[in-house]
Amino acid sequence: MPLAEPAIAMRATRYRPRQERNQERIRCATRAAAAQAQPALAVALTQIEAAFHEAAAINDFKLRAEGLVRLGPQHPAVRARFAARATMLSGRNLHGAILLVERWWRNERKAFQIASAFGRGSQLSLEVLSELRLVLRLLRFKRAEADYTTALAAMCGLPIAEAAE
């Protein structure tokens, strides 16, 4: 596997923003291929492999989810994508929401597999649930229960209960 050594070298370096990681992955693969004195076509194929590698796809997915978080719950694109699911999550805390969304995602994945077997699978709802899963897990990781409650209230149009000081 030509990308094993550059991946190990990348872990030892300093933190880089997520946007730069794909370019860095491609540069490392190019340097490794060039160091082995491979022909230009082999170097180009290595670059393509690095650009469309599974890690690049996962990184792009995370960038898309982070972009939705940055837009905030009032943005029309976020409302269009998550408002229906947010109303179904109202009244649940972050942990309960994660469990429910995880169940929805598993059921939707099974339904997609069955529909795909018949040639009628659509990935849109599976994508929405995957993004929602990632956003909720990110909030749990950052211990942002208050942000979850505020965003959920904004998405559902509920009054936000503010803490008394």
- Whether the pLDDT of residue 10 is over 70: the answer is no
pLDDT at residue 2, as a whole number: 45
pLDDT, tens digit, for every residue of 106-143? 999 999 999 999 988 888 889 999 999 999 998 898 89
pLDDT, tens digit, for every residue of 16-37? 777 777 777 777 777 777 777 7
CA distance 152 to 161: 12
Where along the chain do its domains lie? 4-52, 72-156
3-state secondary structure of 84: helix
pLDDT at residue 13, as a whole number: 55
Tell me which long-range contacts 132-138 makes (C-beta under 8 A, separation of at least 24): 132/82, 132/85, 132/101, 133/98, 133/101, 133/102, 133/105, 134/61, 134/62, 134/65, 135/65, 135/68, 135/69, 136/94, 136/97, 136/98, 136/101, 137/98, 138/65, 138/69
Question: What residue type is 115 in one-letter code?
Answer: A
**pTM of this prediction exceeds 0.75:** no
Q: Among the ranges 38-47, 143-152, 156-165, which has the highest mean pLDDT value?
A: 143-152
